[in-house]
Amino acid sequence: MVTMRKTHDAAFKAKVALEAVKGEKTITEIASGYSVHPNQIRQWRSRLLERLPEMFSQQKSQNEKSQDELVAELFRQIGQLKVELDWLKKKSQQLL
């Protein structure tokens, strides 16, 4: 018999990790309530605490900057292609 691993979505992980950070219940109580292993909850909690300062940082990360530059370049190319297409349509109508 093959058992499938449970996969949890990000919202569930955040909910459980936040509850662990609050400290109102022990990790064992949270684990039994959500049917998740306590070590998994500890990992989610530590990941949350590691990434929490990034959320309140004023500076954009390098990845966000490069993505913004890529989007700007793609919009520029779309505009250029639209101008070229309009020019070709105009020229093809003149030939007919």
pLDDT tens digit string along 42-84?
999 999 999 888 777 766 666 777 888 999 999 999 999 999 9
SS3 of residue 21 by DSSP: helix
Q: pLDDT at position 52, please?
A: 87
Sign of CA dihedral 60, 65, 67, 73: positive
CA dihedral 80, 84, 86, 87 (to 10 degrees): 140
Model pTM score: 0.58
